[in-house]
A and B are shown apart, each in its own frame.
Chain A
Amino acid sequence: GQNIDQPTEMTATEGAIVQINCTYQTSGFNGLFWYQQHAGEAPTFLSYNVLDGLEEKGRFSSFLSRSKGYSYLLLKELQMKDSASYLCAKNTDKLIFGTGTRLQVFP
């Protein structure tokens, strides 16, 4: 199957660090995407991991362990505008999204 699991909701404080985990079934895996989606808006691309390890991009980093079927998105120096849903998506022959993690950042 394509089961992709993420926590439903998370909260954090402005300036803090938060880690959003994603687990998936490893069959047919080609890579893992992370997208950000503000309510009612289009998802926007954050990162793509194909190989194991950490990819850093400014305040956002993404990690992948293919053998464990595990990824996380790390957000540093949180800002209020980071309040959004974060979608983990597994690339097989099509892109399958998890239900997303709704992150609320409080002052």
Chain B
Amino acid sequence: DSGVTQTPKHLITATGQRVTLRCSPRSGDLSVYWYQQSLDQGLQFLIQYYNGEERAKGNILERFSAQQFPDLHSELNLSSLELGDSALYFCASSEGDRGLAPLHFGNGTRLTVT
């Protein structure tokens, strides 16, 4: 158990809808990262937050947004969903903000858009 909690585990929704994925980092970790993994694809970096502030951005679509709250949990919002958004969404956390410490991954949220 990595100590990172993601909810829900599975999400099935229709095109055009909006969903929110939630992540609670490991105790003591200030950084939260979001990654997208499509079928047979690598982990695509979306965005990183450190202690409530956005720290780094990857290829995150404008339809996607995220935030980290004062209690350090994070939410990833996906709107105007398309079939291609179906993927595993992983949250990871680490101690610092420079990626020098290993990332600890949650078990992911499997999103299916129909």
Contact = CB atoms under 8 A, between A and B. Distances in A.
Interface stretch (B42-50, B67-75, B79-87): B42-50
B19 to A, nearest CB: 20
B56 A93 contact: yes
Interface in A12-65: 30-31, 33, 40-45, 48
Interface residues on A, range: 20 to 34
Contact of B102 (A42, A45, A93): A45
B102 to A, nearest CB: 4
A48 B95 CA distance: 15
Interface residues of B, number: 23
B106 interface: yes
Contacts of B43: 43, 87, 89, 97
A79 interface: no
Given A93-B56, A95-B33, A30 B99 contact: yes
B20 interface: no
Interface string B19-35: 00000000000000101
Contacts of B105: 42-44
